[in-house]
Amino acid sequence: MTTLITGASSGIGEALSIASAKRGDNLFLCARNPERLHRVAEDCRKLGVRVEEKILDIRDEEGVKAWLDEAESILPIERVFANAGVSTGEETEENVRNTFSINVNGTMNIVLCAIGLARRRKRPEDEKACGMQILVTSSIAGYGPLASCPSYSATKSCLKTWALALRGALKKEGIKVSAIAPGFVRSRITDKNTCPMPFFMEADKAAMKILRAADKNVGLIAFPWPMRFASYFASILPWRLNEFITGLMPAKII
């Protein structure tokens, strides 16, 4: 399999890269930090797979399109992890705009380019596009508004809803789409986190859960289940009760 992963230099992206390489996947990896990305790429190459690395800001629409076109010309892309994203930290105007720009607009660039590639593969005699699976990294925080992290939860909610809607809309074209909604997973973000992190999970374990679910084409890959249940339950509560409960949560300062 040929897999493309954004945000591959740390956290879930790094773990997905290593886990995919162990399965024999050829990889196209991108991130913004050259040193960290090269280290991950070298670790994957040691496992005997082909790895192409690219320093890229996913907010660069033309850069994203050029990268995916280049990757497709080398090896047809079969699986795309639109994984790159940031947390907000202090809710300053600059940080809020940065969060939306990367998490929503940047992810949109990757997903729309991937859909375009899949559609261009369609042969005249076929009704469906040829083989593409797109997985969008959301978060358990995307189940509903969280006063502890307004911008982050809003962007992740957007990605979750968009991915699941695309899944239904693109199914008839043979394009598979899934939303990934993990809880607290070890990353550069959680390393700085000051709030409680129940059911904390190591990134390699999370990556294996994601890959197994991706192989089965699961639509919503959300874990761990206690946090998934709690987040879903909170999201269906009457708004005033939801607001009261989430207001009691400690701030997610990172």
> What pLDDT digit, counting tens, does each position of 170-227 carry?
999 999 999 999 987 766 665 556 555 666 689 999 999 999 999 999 999 999 877 7
- 46: which 2 tokens? 């040691």
> What pLDDT does 253 receive?
42
**Main-chain phi, psi angles of 11, to 5 degrees:** 60, -140
CA dist 252 and 254 (Å) reads 6
Alpha helices per DSSP H over 46-129: 61-74, 93-100, 107-120
CATH topology of domain 2-247: Rossmann fold (3.40.50)
Beginning with the edge strand found earlier in the chain, give each strand of the sheet holding 132-137 in spatial order.
51-55, 26-31, 2-6, 79-82, 132-137, 175-182, 220-223
CA nearest neighbour of 220 among 114, 139, 105, 126: 139
> What pLDDT does 149 receive?
84
- Neighbouring CB atoms inside 10 A of 225's CB total 10
Residues 6+ apart with CB under 8 A from 97: none
What's the chain's length in residues?
A: 254
- 214: which 2 tokens? 């991706």
Averages of pLDDT over runs of 10 residues in the chain (254 residues) are: 97 97 98 98 98 98 98 96 93 96 98 96 61 94 83 96 97 96 74 60 94 98 78 67 63 47
Residues 6+ apart with CB under 8 A from 105: 59
> What pLDDT does 83 receive?
97
CA dist 64 and 106 (Å) reads 9
- 198: which 2 tokens? 């129940």
CA dist 254 and 249 (Å) reads 15
- Hey, where are the domains in the chain? 2-247
